[in-house]
Amino acid sequence: MLTNLQIKNYALIEHLDFAPDRALNIITGETGAGKSIMLGAIGLLLGNRADTRTLYNPSEKCVIEGEFNISGYIIRSIFEEEELDYEEHCIIRREISPQGKTRAFVNDTPVNLETLRKVTSQLMDVHSQHDNLLLGANDYQLQIVDTFAQNHEFLDKYKADYQTYNKAHRTYDQLMSEAKESKKEFDYNAFLLDELQKVKLKGNELEGLELELNKLENAEEVKSKLLLVTEYLNASDQSIITFLTSAVANFNGISSFGEQYEQLRSRLQSSLIELKDIAVEVESEAEEVELDNEKISIIQQRLDSLYNLLQKHQVKTDRELIAIQDDLEKKVNKVLNIDEAIEKAKANVEKAERLMIKSGESLSKSRIAVLPVIEKQISDSLMDLGMPNASLNINNEIIKPTPNGLNTINLLFSANKGIKPQPIKNVASGGEFSRLMLAIKYILANKRALPTIIFDEIDTGISGEVSIKVGNMMREMSRNHQLIAITHLHQIAAQGSVHYFVYKDNSSAKTVSRIKKLTNEERVMEIAQMIGGQNPSKAVVENAREILSKHLVDKTNYKLDL
């Protein structure tokens, strides 16, 4: 239930505070006074698109805030799904900045418009001419049937099974597509893999082979250089080690004459030891170096194989070749194993389809069972609304699974005797649409947890006795649901538990739209003006007083002191 609505800086509204009654709230006013502006602001709360041109003061932000009492609503799961704090006192807020940026909040938590619509669609139901267009849509007609049948559990179960089936089918289709594409490339991938596996790749092998080949190809030069170094170091009477040995011997004779001589001798001795070690290693290296043409040939062949693969796969290292080999193995193995995966996926699809069809049939059974009841109740309501010759038939057709079930519903309507019922969008006038929509909402009123219903001039095209019956129907609906009705008919306005008047205030430099709750006497005068014009006669005023007294004392719990 909407407990309070605040609108700031929107269109002609500078600041409006509206606290509707829990029952039937009537809103009247002159054309252009701001009734539609209020609906526009409520539309923003429901997630409609915003426009900075609607700002009353272009330099300030617009704020629309609705406070709701949602105790008893079965919507906690929506809050949980959207990760929102659930409180029985729920505040919905929408802001529009002068720069055109909009923000939406649910209990002070920022939300996107999709989440906002998901929440507020459960809080308010605004009926307008747009609903008349919706009524011609099969999906909307299906929602009417599901709401009347109270199919929430059946529908939730079916939708869950439908999603499971779709997911399983997507997996199966993807595997089939992959199999088709993979099998096209299988032979080529298998050939490439075989080619790489035959080479028996090893990580970092290429660099080592290149170094070894370079050494072997230059073995003769390397060996001659090493032998020459050996000659210099130790292989003759003129070698470095021979001269260094003599130098050490000369220092032996003078080392006792001073500490500096001993230090120099020690250093020469260390150098001599190091050079002898070097000489041994150089000689050893020289012995190991051999010219091996056969080994050179083997390494060259190995390198040629690697270079060809690098060029073929357009990479630079053998590590990259190993990565390519691993990837090819996965692709080849996937094809080899994909038939098994496809069979498993197909079995999952068949199982999911059986469950979906089963839950869909349960949903269909529930829908079909209420169709005759809906037809009769709507026809009875239309008779009460002054359409005794109206007839409504609901055509049901079983179809392939869709997100909404296995049914398509088509409401066939005729307002006149002897005229065969046809699709609603082809036959109903504006007034007939409004009465049909009221009849539908009337029979649904006790079937859904939707306390706040807003009727925007649902009285279009009706008058007289029919308008009284429309008002009676609204008043009866308001016993269990909060209703807000914008009307221009006194027969409906008289039925309200409270009456609000929207008017233009021209007392300042800029026109402002305001709303006020009418006192009992003000209600009498407003009803009188709706009957007899701006200056009603005394008789019309008394008639208005009598109408209000009749509706609010005799048939409702509302009390009006007249």
pLDDT tens for the chain, 562 residues long, are 999 999 999 988 889 999 999 999 999 988 777 788 888 889 899 888 887 778 888 899 999 999 999 887 778 888 988 999 889 999 999 999 998 899 999 999 999 999 999 899 888 888 765 565 667 778 888 988 998 998 989 998 999 999 999 999 999 999 888 888 777 777 788 888 888 888 888 877 777 787 877 777 777 777 788 888 888 888 777 788 888 888 888 888 888 888 888 899 899 899 989 999 998 888 888 877 777 777 778 888 888 888 888 888 888 888 888 888 888 888 888 777 788 888 999 999 999 999 999 999 999 999 999 999 999 999 999 988 888 888 889 999 999 999 999 999 999 998 888 888 888 777 656 677 778 888 888 888 877 666 688 888 777 777 778 888 888 889 988 888 899 999 889 999 999 999 999 988 888 888 888 899 999 999 999 999 999 888 889 999 999 999 888 766 444 444 444 5
Give me the pLDDT at residue 555, please: 42
* Helix or strand run (H / E) with residue 504: strand 498-505
Give me the pLDDT at residue 399, please: 93
Q: Residue 141: CB partners within 8 Å, gap ≥ 6? A: 135, 394, 409, 410, 411
Nearest to 379 by CA among 431, 409, 421: 421
Give me the pLDDT at residue 434, please: 76
Nearest to 54 by CA among 70, 73, 75, 39: 39
Give me the pLDDT at residue 449, please: 60
Q: Which residue carries 């080529």 as its tokens?
A: 188
Residues 261 and 255: beta-carbon distance below 8 Å: yes
pTM above threshold 0.85: no
Give me the pLDDT at residue 7, please: 93
Distance CA 324, CA 395 (A): 61
Give me the pLDDT at residue 554, please: 43
Give me the pLDDT at residue 551, please: 67
Nearest to 28 by CA among 528, 556, 461: 528
